[in-house]
Structure formats: C-alpha cells, structure tokens
Amino acid sequence: MPGEWVEQLREAASLASRKQVMQLIAQIPPDKAVLARALTEKAKLFDFQAIIDFCH
C-alpha cells in the first residue's frame, strides 16, 4: 500500500478511530485480501496497537 495510505492508517489507529480504520481497509485492493482480513480482525478487536505496529 502507498506510504500516504499507511500513514493515514497509522493516524486513524493512533486516534482509535475504528470507523476511519475500516474506511481505509475498504480501499485495499482485492489482490491484498489477506492484508484486509488481518487488519479487519484487529479493528474488530479494537487492537489498534497491532495496526500501529504494522505501519512501522
């Protein structure tokens, strides 16, 4: 994913904004479905630290 998208995801997770995180996950293309599923699971569990860690 582009750096700008990753930064937006990190920021949304830092703010614990599940809605914004889910909106960004929706932008992930189908060929990266595994990534989308993994991030969705973390967002559903409110595991924002895991998402932040992914962004580094």
The per-residue pLDDT for range 34-52, each reduced to its tens digit, is 999 999 999 999 999 999 9
pLDDT, tens only, 9-24: 999 999 999 999 999 9
Q: Put residue 16 in one of left, alpha, beta given phi > 0 → left and psi -120 to 50 → alpha.
A: left
14 near 56, Cβ under 8 Å? no
Please count the structural domains in the chain: 1
pLDDT category of residue 28 using cuts at 50, 70 and 90: very high
pLDDT at 25: 98
pLDDT at 31: 98
pLDDT at 6: 97
Q: What is the dihedral of CA 37, 7, 28, 46, to 10 degrees?
A: 30
In terms of residue numbers, what domain contains 29?
A: 3-54
Q: Put residue 17 in one of left, alpha, beta given phi > 0 → left and psi -120 to 50 → alpha.
A: beta
